[in-house]
Structure 1
Amino acid sequence: MKKIVIIACIALGFNACKNDTKTSSDETTNAEIASNFNDILNSYYEEGLKLNPLNATSAGDNRYNDKLPDVLSDEYTAKIKAYYTDFKNKINQFDDANLSESQQMSKAVLNWDCNINLERLAFREDLTPINQMWTQQLTIGQLASGASSQPFKTVEDYNNWLKRLDGYLLWMNSAEEKMKEGILIGHVLPKSIIKKVLPQLETLTTTNLDEHLFYNPIKNFPDSFSEEDKTRLTDKYKNMVLNKIVPAYKKLHDFMSTTYLTSGRESSGISDTPNGKDYYKHQIKTYTTTDMTADEVHEIGLKEVARILSEMEKVKTQVGYKGDLISFFDYVRNNKELMPFKTPEAVIANFKNIHSKMMPQVEKLFDLKPKTPFEVRRTEAFREASASAEYNPGSIDGTRPGIFYTPVPDATKYNTFSDEALFLHEAIPGHHFQISLQQENKDLPKFRKTLWYSAYGEGWALYTESLGKELGLYTDPYQYFGMLGMEMHRAIRLVVDTGLHAKGWTREQAIEYSLKNEAESEASIISEIERYMANPGQALSYKIGQLKIRKLRAKAEKELGDKFDIAQFHNQVLETGCIPLALLENKIDNWIASLK
């Protein structure tokens, strides 16, 4: 029936399907059109999983756990381009007049998604396929640990991973070839970034199976496995690690530590690469979901830094510190009273205590709360040295929890002054609430349950840091200073990211600016600056998104007065999941108008 409707609409011209006359026949036709629209949304999701099987695994969909396409191949690029082009054309054959409000939002979101990804394909991201922070070798390492989204519960699971690793080995070879191509045209990573990748690769060249990350699943066989299965899989994994994985990592490490390192850039910003200036404009658009310029973002950053500095001065005065703010940063960084832990387990326990303290207040601010559980875990050792705290979503069906990873390279040097704000951001009510509610929302089409726009997602998480006092936290002035410090960190990002990639700043200039304006340690700041170098524009999303949500809340409070309900405002922001900021603003404006 649905196929017949499509043919009829094409034969008559789609204007025939846009008639607003409400006869019973038309209502039936409109219902069928709406159904067909939903089928296309579902196909967009399903076809996307086939192209990106790691996304399926992350979502808890195990159908493609043995698949890993070579995303660097020309064949794959052609498939991706056809995918976005075809679905953009399909979705725009539907008139908004025949779609529900939710469907209209989905149409707008899908158009944005297709357009921004088609724009991305015009740039040569494939020439720098590996960095220390974001790229596929790190994702695969997490999966290989056996403690992430790749399941190791059945014999089939174990075999699926071996097949997936064959695809990964092809990707590793393609990555080296792409980097060689990049050398020829000067499209390479900065030397400082390459140096951070090398120890990550070298760790996985060990032939000691007990220490090798990729051998971990063999150490944790389910009790249900037979001895025969255990013996057979152990032999397969030994062969895979020693004869495939280790040689591949040695080869890649040898190339990157010699030829590639020698060819690495001395400059820090992406504008120094071919077509780099246009690429940075694209990255700003991608990560802020706006058309802001680098200069506009830079100026906002400078203003926010100045505002937050004045708030920090107040805290300095409150705790009785007599020196200037820069020396207060050093005081906070090195205050042994703020480093009370001796073990990583104690760091994790502190986050659990924060959770218990603020949960009674959550009811006042939120009446939408996710069912998906969450855990706090220490970041895996192989990536801990260069990792930041992060949140990994749970599965869509809720069987795998959301996980807040925090690196603890040395517990005795772990400073707690920003832990309350960090928990609000990464866990509750930040990423865990936002992502889990999005995945659990039965009214959203599947493609929107796992969609991620950094300006919205990171903007929400940064916004939630400011809710600490309303949630019974920040009673300790140092924890409040920690919140200001984390907000300052995101404001500084607006300045240094645009500085690096649009204004010719060096890595050292960016580090110096950060040291003068925030209380993070020098080691942490260096790691952060190199993060921005590895993924231009991503760091802009937090503050731009937060400022938009704050602005929308202030507008709603002002215009609604006594009718304003904070829980309902949060519902409005969260219920549609990740969307570009312009669509969020339209949604909140319509909500305000409906209540006035």
Structure 2
Amino acid sequence: MRKAFLTGVAVCALLSSFTASVPSPPPADNDQRLAALFDAYWEKNNRLFPLSATSQGDNRYNDQLPNDQTQVYRDSLRAFYQGYLGKLNGFNRNQLSDTDKISYDIFQYKLQTELSGLKLNTWMTPFKQFWGLPISFVQLGSGQGAQPFKTVQDYDNWLLRAKRFPVWADSAISNFRRGAKAGVVLPKALVLKMIPQAQALVVSDATKSVFYGPINKLPAGISAAERQRLTAAYQQLILTDIGPTYKKLGDFLQNEYLPQARTTTGLADVPGGPALYAYYTKLWTTTDKTPAEIYQTGLSEVKRIRAEMERVKTQVGFKGDLPAFFAYMKTDPKFMPYKSAEEVLTAYRGIQARIAPALPKYFSLMPKSAFEIRQTEAFRAASASAEYNRAAADGSRPGIFYVPILDAAKFTTPGMESLFLHEAIPGHHFHISLQQENTALPKFRRFGGYSASSEGWALYTESLGKELGVYTDPYQYMGALSNEIHRAIRLVVDVGMNTKGLTREQAIKYMMDNEAINEQKSTAEIERYMAIPGQALSYKIGQLKIQELRDKYKKQLGAKFSLRAFHDEFLKDGIMPLAVLERKMDAWAAAQK
């Protein structure tokens, strides 16, 4: 799958030998050995996951595309994780420095979680409308993503990588078929969205393909002969490899898989579904909370936030009930002032400018990475939510806040401010960029992620709007409440669909009944949760934990509590499971006394 990795294995073997020969090494020596173990792990990890390496700016494997749809590949992962867990267990945690104890705990958690996941049948649904290689492949090959297109070698790397896509697709189709035989199939509603996604990427004119983008932007320094060669090669690639592969995927989904897709909604309706959802719940929340507990938390939060919404409705003098207020905010022309996508993007840039002066009061740690706001690409916008794509650690690519704009004239303003705080600054761009820029962290931490911590942080930052100089308009504050209740609703509908028989249609209605969202957006959201069960739980669970810690330390420390210091401590060590985070933050609070 990747280039040979004997060197990393040899290093690990030497480490294991050294461990056996020295029973009680001093702490400093333990720290050095642990750092070497992490380095060796990360080298092999990037060979196993070259697409992740590319996203981090490690360009050594940009020509690689492993077939991760095979049993051989899954077995190699199992051996990889089990081997490193065994090596980690050779260390005495008590002999490590405080920083390395955190790394030890995160590493152990990661390996155990990965091994648990490999026991499940997730491979029977290789991709969905919201995630998977057929989606990320377009972002890479368009020239707008992490895959670099600056040199002739970069262009040749993509040719080699892309030529492996047809084999991957054949294996994915095989896995879909095996899943269908076992009764593990996707809901029809999702398959119906996947089909046009694939069909849209089939072209008869290569120059009309999104994959022709890099040729349209060939660097000036490339010679005429190379330009001619690469142009011909990319046209052939699109017409003989990429286009036919998407056609094959679309035809398979349309003609063979769709008739077998299920009409039910949640994982409870597939073999092994309850165990799979329990795994996803733990994976995404990094807690031991049960789905039933999370469901009750969701109901409680929806009730609390609705009460605050009622207060704002009264404040602005709206006559009517809350659903009528939602309808007003979705349909009144004053909330739809834009005529073009560029006007929407300009409005978001205005939000960035407004919060910038207040940031130093609440953050002394700020990222160096550049940041941009872009419109979500047309091919995926219909099924996309706003999102953040991380910057390259070496500064070669900015962090990007993507905004799906299907029709600028119908783009509503309430919620824009809180969305920017969440997806961009000081949400994901701060958290992820600061983590990547911290070269003192081992690479598995610099480039790792836990949704409950990262999404929890992003949702928590929405509560800082008034401090940062936004939410001065009650409708924007109402939008922030709508965004918060949106995350509370997720606890109800995600658990409800997967354990309580809640249907897709009932979930869409529940969402529309409790927030200012139109049917199109609500449908896209619910179908996203169907595609990534459990992920939507991470936001509110993480936010509630961060807010709980802030309140606890403010009470403990009194006048000694600094919100800026709290934020800096949270951010400086990167993203981690919530239990590890709480131990770290408790130690920080104790030191403040």
- TM-score after normalising by structure 1: 0.96
* Alpha-carbon distance change, 321 to 227 in structure 1, aligned in 2, over 3 angstroms: same
Alignment correspondent of 2:175: 178
- Give the drift of 1:51: 0.6
Matched, 1:251 2:245: no
Letter in 1 for 2:441: L
Alignment correspondent of 1:459: 456
Alignment correspondent of 1:544: 541
Matched, 1:162 2:159: yes
Alignment correspondent of 2:21: 11
Letter in 2 for 1:356: A
Indicate the SS of the match to 2:349. helix
* Alpha-carbon distance change, 261 to 6 in structure 1, aligned in 2, over 3 angstroms: closer
Contact 2:19/2:90 (<8 A) preserved: no
Matched, 1:418 2:415: yes
Letter in 2 for 1:523: Q
Alignment correspondent of 2:579: 582
Aligned match of 1:141 in 138, 142, 162?
Answer: 138
Alignment correspondent of 2:5: none
Contact 2:12/2:37 (<8 A) preserved: no
Indicate the SS of the match to 1:35. helix
Aligned match of 2:357 in 351, 357, 360?
Answer: 360
Q: Which runs of 5+ in 2 are unaligned?
A: 1-10
Matched, 1:238 2:235: yes
Matched, 1:45 2:55: no
Contact 1:370/1:436 (<8 A) preserved: yes
Letter in 2 for 1:391: Y
Q: Which runs of 5+ in 1 are unaligned?
A: 18-28
- Give the drift of 1:209: 2.1
* Alpha-carbon distance change, 276 to 264 in structure 1, aligned in 2, over 3 angstroms: same
- Give the drift of 1:31: 2.7
Partners of 1:569 and 1:425 in 2: CA distance = 18
Indicate the SS of the match to 1:391. strand
- Give the drift of 1:443: 1.8
Partners of 1:126 and 1:542 in 2: CA distance = 25
Partners of 1:248 and 1:305 in 2: CA distance = 44
- Give the drift of 1:3: 8.0
Matched, 1:504 2:514: no
Indicate the SS of the match to 1:187. coil
Contact 1:2/1:32 (<8 A) preserved: no
Partners of 2:520 and 2:34 in 1: CA distance = 51
Letter in 2 for 1:424: L
1:367-405 Cα offsets, whole Å, 9 max, x none, are: 000000100000011111111100000011122110000
Contact 2:418/2:465 (<8 A) preserved: yes
Partners of 2:133 and 2:285 in 1: CA distance = 23
Contact 2:376/2:404 (<8 A) preserved: yes
Letter in 2 for 1:197: M
Task: Give aligned-pair identity as a percent.
Answer: 48
- Give the drift of 1:35: 1.1
Alignment correspondent of 1:21: none
Question: Superposition RMSD on alpha carbons, in Å?
Answer: 1.3
- Give the drift of 1:442: 2.2
Contact 1:5/1:32 (<8 A) preserved: no
Map 1:261-300; keep pairs closer than 5 Å: 261-300=258-297
Alignment correspondent of 1:401: 398
Contact 1:5/1:33 (<8 A) preserved: no
Aligned match of 1:471 in 456, 468, 473?
Answer: 468
Partners of 1:367 and 1:282 in 2: CA distance = 37
Aligned match of 1:557 in 546, 549, 554?
Answer: 554
More displaced stretch, 570-579 vs 482-491: 570-579
Contact 2:16/2:87 (<8 A) preserved: no
1:244-270 Cα offsets, whole Å, 9 max, x none, are: 111111111111001100000010001
Partners of 2:125 and 2:14 in 1: CA distance = 47
Aligned match of 1:390 in 363, 387, 392?
Answer: 387
Indicate the SS of the match to 2:268. helix
More displaced stretch, 166-175 vs 505-514: 166-175
1:461-519 Cα offsets, whole Å, 9 max, x none, are: 00000000010100000100010000000000000000000111110111111111011
* Alpha-carbon distance change, 5 to 155 in structure 1, aligned in 2, over 3 angstroms: closer
Partners of 1:135 and 1:245 in 2: CA distance = 16
Map 1:477-488; keep pairs closer than 5 Å: 477-488=474-485
Matched, 1:129 2:129: no
Matched, 1:311 2:311: no
Indicate the SS of the match to 2:372. strand
Letter in 1 for 2:374: R
Indicate the SS of the match to 2:388. strand
Alignment correspondent of 1:220: 217
Query: Which runs of structure 1 show a deviation greater than 3 angstroms over 4 or more consecutive aligned residues?
Result: 1-9
Partners of 1:563 and 1:353 in 2: CA distance = 35
Alignment correspondent of 1:521: 518
- TM-score after normalising by structure 2: 0.97
Contact 1:2/1:36 (<8 A) preserved: no
Aligned match of 1:434 in 423, 431, 435?
Answer: 431
